[in-house]
Amino acid sequence: MTHVFVSPHPDDAALSCGGLIASLRELGQNVAIVTVFSGSGSTEHLTPYQREALGFGSKALWPVTEAFNRANIPNDVGLGDEPLPPWAATADRLDATQADADAAAKRFWQRSSWYRRASIHNESLAGQPVIDQMSTQGAVLTVELTEAEAAADATATRRLEDERYAYFAEASLIVLDLPDAVFRGYEGDAELLGTPRDDDPAPVALLRSEIARLEPQKVYFPLGVGGHVDHQLVRNVGLAMIGDARRWVMPGPEWAGIVSFYEDFPYAWWNDFRSIDELREGQANGFGELPYDVTIVPEYANISDQLERKINGLTIYESQLPRLFGGSRQMADAVRGYGRKIGALGGLNGHAERYWSSLSL
Ligand SMILES: [Zn+2]
């Protein structure tokens, strides 16, 4: 059982739900983050606006453990023509060590009918994969990703930040890599923050199956405050899932009671979002058309103890902070300010995040 946070872009779950994620982990609950629109189209012909708007708006396994990626550890001593330091292995010494290791392996294995050779060089002897080259942990595409990052690929940068955050938060990360709205033909704020196009449907089937496979005890979708099309589409998946059981002839999975919605931070802060009633009365977003036996109720997560951890986690998203907040200090102020406001709305003496949870009547 796990708590699944559906994040339209890398950073949305951390921004909106970082406090609850930290609380859940402290309680020993499993957390999975599904990042939906993190993919790139061709980044070669991006206009400056597109490059900027990416900010708003393969599948990774477990968080990257870069400390164990040898490629990230520079040599202390150059490997050029300089003379070797006294402690460095020479070919002769390595051969001697290999011979010793072979003899030891032979002694160890002599009671069995076969013999394994030792390999101190960490090289493949018979074409079998070497453990260091297998991505059991960490980003499958780490080398490609870091190269792409070096080449200033904005989506690669954001994905790396997402993986670092998942590692920090002890969450597993599932990256769907659907192309960001700017790669699906949305141009300018009016389109990016407008109504999703008819030929750009919400990825309901894909997300439903990814989520169902995790057997979640709770799934958190964005409310779509701020109106970014990617956020709206992800929210619409949540709404569609709530309606699932009622559409099926045979009883289907009951998502009402499991699906919950989070307030998109910082957009909810900037818009002074107060209640889901603002969405019910607003543009066609589905909250006014829920099944008659489903209601949405606010739930307050007291994050006072996790507030600083949430802020620390957000500093990982270096590429986003300047554009979103102006800097990490302003980010911290905004997180504290919004947390205090929500805490007050919930009558809590402290900081809170608010979730709007579906409930079967
Ligand atoms: Zn977003």
The β-bridge relationship of strands 216-222 and 352-360 is unpaired
Is 185 part of any domain? yes
CA of 120 to the centre of ligand 1 (A): 47
Is 303 part of any domain? yes
CA of 35 to the centre of ligand 1 (A): 10
Q: What is the pLDDT of residues 233-286, one digit of tens each?
A: 999 999 999 887 655 555 556 888 999 999 999 999 988 888 888 876 655 677
CB 274 within 8 A of CB 345: yes
Residue 335 predicted with pLDDT over 60: yes
CB 331 within 8 A of CB 321: yes
Is 109 part of any domain? no
CA of 209 to the centre of ligand 1 (A): 22
Residues above pLDDT 70, as percent of the chain: 72
Predicted confidence band at 76 (pLDDT cuts at 50, 70, 90)?
A: low
Q: What domain range includes position 271?
A: 2-68+133-360
Pick the range with the lowest mean pLDDT from 123-132, 169-178, 185-194, 253-262: 123-132
CB 307 within 8 A of CB 328: no
CA of 20 to the centre of ligand 1 (A): 18
Is 82 part of any domain? no
Task: Look at the chain and report how many structural domains it folds into.
Answer: 1
CB 18 within 8 A of CB 169: yes
Residue 55 predicted with pLDDT over 80: no
**According to the model, what pLDDT value does residue 96 have?**
87
pTM listed for this prediction: 0.72
Is 115 part of any domain? no
Is 104 part of any domain? no
CB 16 within 8 A of CB 262: yes
Strands ordered across the beta sheet of 30-35: 172-175, 30-35, 2-7, 216-222, 259-262, 352-360, 294-302
CA of 64 to the centre of ligand 1 (A): 22
CATH of the domain at 159: 3.40.50.10320
**According to the model, what pLDDT value does residue 25 have?**
94
Is 314 part of any domain? yes
Element (DSSP H or E) covering residue 235: helix 229-247
Residue 49 predicted with pLDDT over 60: no
CB 19 within 8 A of CB 353: yes
CA of 152 to the centre of ligand 1 (A): 20
**According to the model, what pLDDT value does residue 294 have?**
87
CB 75 within 8 A of CB 189: no
Is 186 part of any domain? yes
CA of 91 to the centre of ligand 1 (A): 53
